Homo-oligomer: A and B are copies of this chain.
Amino acid sequence: MAAAGALVADLGRSDLHALYRTMVMVRTSEERLEILQKQGHLHGGLYRSLGQEAGPVGAAYALRPSADGKGDVLAMTVRATGACFVFGFTPLELFRQYLGRATGLTRGKEANLHCVDYARGFIGPNSPLGTMVQVMAGVTLAFRMRGEDRVGISFYGDGATSTGAWHEGITFASGQRCPLIVMVEANQWAFSTRTERFTRVKSFADKGIGYGISGESVDGNDPVAVYEVVARAAGRARAGEGTQLIELRTFRRLGHAQHDAMEYMDKAELAEWEAKDPIVRFRQRLLDEGWSDAGELDAIDREVYDRVAADAEQAMAEPLPAPAAALDGVYTDHVQRAPWTRRTPVDPRG
Out of B162, B165, B167, B212, name the residue touching A201 (CB < 8 Å): B212
Out of B165, B175, B207, B209, name the residue touching A164 (CB < 8 Å): B165
B211 and A200 contact, CB distance less than 8 A: yes
Please report the C-alpha to C-alpha distance between residue A2 and residue B162 in the assembled complex, in whole angstroms: 38
A206 and B212 contact, CB distance less than 8 A: yes
Please report the C-alpha to C-alpha distance between residue A167 and residue B201 in the assembled complex, in whole angstroms: 14
Binary flags per residue of A180-215, CB closer than 8 Å to B gives 1, else 0: 000000000000000001111110001111111100
Chain B residues with CB under 8 Å of A208's CB are: 210
Give the nearest-CB partner of A201 in chain B: B212
How many copies are assembled? 2
Please report the C-alpha to C-alpha distance between residue A124 and residue B335 in the assembled complex, in whole angstroms: 48
B212 and A210 contact, CB distance less than 8 A: no
In the complex, A163 has a CB within 8 A of chain B = yes
Chain B residues with CB under 8 Å of A201's CB are: 209-212
Please report the C-alpha to C-alpha distance between residue A199 and residue B168 in the assembled complex, in whole angstroms: 11
In the complex, A242 has a CB within 8 A of chain B = yes
Please report the C-alpha to C-alpha distance between residue A165 and residue B162 in the assembled complex, in whole angstroms: 11
In the complex, A174 has a CB within 8 A of chain B = yes
In the complex, A37 has a CB within 8 A of chain B = no
Shortest CB-to-CB span from A206 to chain B, Å, is 5
Chain B residues with CB under 8 Å of A165's CB are: 164
Q: Main SS of chain A's interface residues?
A: helix
Please report the C-alpha to C-alpha distance between residue A167 and residue B207 in the assembled complex, in whole angstroms: 12
Q: Which of A133-183 touch B at CB < 8 Å?
A: 162-165, 167-168, 171, 174-175, 177
Out of B167, B198, B213, name the residue touching A200 (CB < 8 Å): B213
Chain B residues with CB under 8 Å of A211's CB are: 199-201, 210
Out of B167, B200, B213, name the residue touching A175 (CB < 8 Å): B200
A residues neighboring B (CB under 8 Å):
162-165, 167-168, 171, 174-175, 177, 197-202, 206-213, 242
- Name 5 A/B residue pairs within 8 A (Cβ), A-sorted: A163-B168, A164-B165, A171-B199, A174-B200, A201-B212
Known: A164-B164, A201-B212, A206-B210. 16 other contacts (CB 8 A): A162-B171, A162-B175, A164-B165, A171-B198, A171-B199, A174-B200, A175-B198, A175-B200, A177-B200, A200-B213, A202-B212, A206-B212, A208-B210, A209-B209, A209-B210, A210-B211
Q: Which 4 A-B pairs have the closest CB atoms?
A: A164-B164, A210-B210, A200-B212, A167-B167
